[in-house]
Amino acid sequence: MKIRRLSVIAALLLLFPCACAPQSTDNGPSDSQDNSQNNSQDDTQNGSENGSGDADAPLRLTAEEEKIAVFSAGDSPLFNKRSGRNGDPFDCVFLPANVRFTDGAMQLYLTKEQNGYGGAEYRSRAYYSYGFYSVSMKAAACPGVISSFFTYTGNPWDEIDIEFLGKNTEEIQFNYYTKGQGGHEFVYQLGFDGAAEFHEYAFLWLPDSITWYVDGRAVHTAETNIPSAPTQIMMNVWNCRGNDGWSGKFEENLLPVCANYQWIGYSPYTAEQ
């Protein structure tokens, strides 16, 4: 297999024709919260699953043509600002005004509003398939607040997650759903504070596997019941209701808080002929 690198113009021509109407997001924790803990930075803990010795493993996304949105340029025409409420376990309304562009990045804010809380969600207009997805981001530092980068489709419910659980931004959770079946949570110890500075987080989604990366290093692979439906690229920040053990007890006194995003990258996958 190979990862095809496209120019920005070619990528736009490829992606806009497959645009579909956005669907409702229901990106909460699954009923199974039996998280695996990775307490070592040694890739050998995951054995052959990591793929760190795979000659086909993608390089870090640094080339401009691989970035489909660079937020130093402001709002992207490839994305929409979400408006509306999701319901449990989300305890906020997504407000377009909470998506902001300052200091060379995009900020997704969680704020205290007159009738509750306002979160933020930014989602692609187009649907994407197998490939290498990457983001440069800083998490929101607040217990009970989730900062994310993920792919999602509502019917069937397929999803691939990179999530910071605000109770501890020195770790990150990877997860995925296939036709609504989750329970694949994996918590990775970063060795740094993901709310303090920008780092690159990524996943390589193939027909038979998903491999997650931190700063270009493969750290976890899943090979069972892999999702297949084309999905939107999404980011959101929200406060969690009724899952304190998962996200931490929400500390409203720290609001407003935000997650920061510098850019998003995508390189589509094509099989060797």
Contacts 24+ apart (CB under 8 A), 36-43: 36/185, 36/186, 36/187, 37/187, 37/189, 38/186, 38/187, 38/188, 38/189, 38/219, 38/220, 39/189, 40/189, 41/189, 41/191, 43/217, 43/218, 43/219
Cα torsion angle, 137, 140, 141, 145, sign: negative
In the residue annotation, 163 being an active-site residue is answered as yes
DSSP-assigned beta bridge partners for residue 232? 152
Q: Which of 66, 159, 185, 200 is catalytic?
A: 159
CB atoms within 10 A of CB 7: 12
What is the rounded CA–CA span in Å between residue 160 and residue 177?
A: 7
Decide if 159 is catalytic: yes
Indicate which residue of 66, 121, 163, 185 is catalytic. 163
**Catalytic sites, residue numbers:** 159, 163
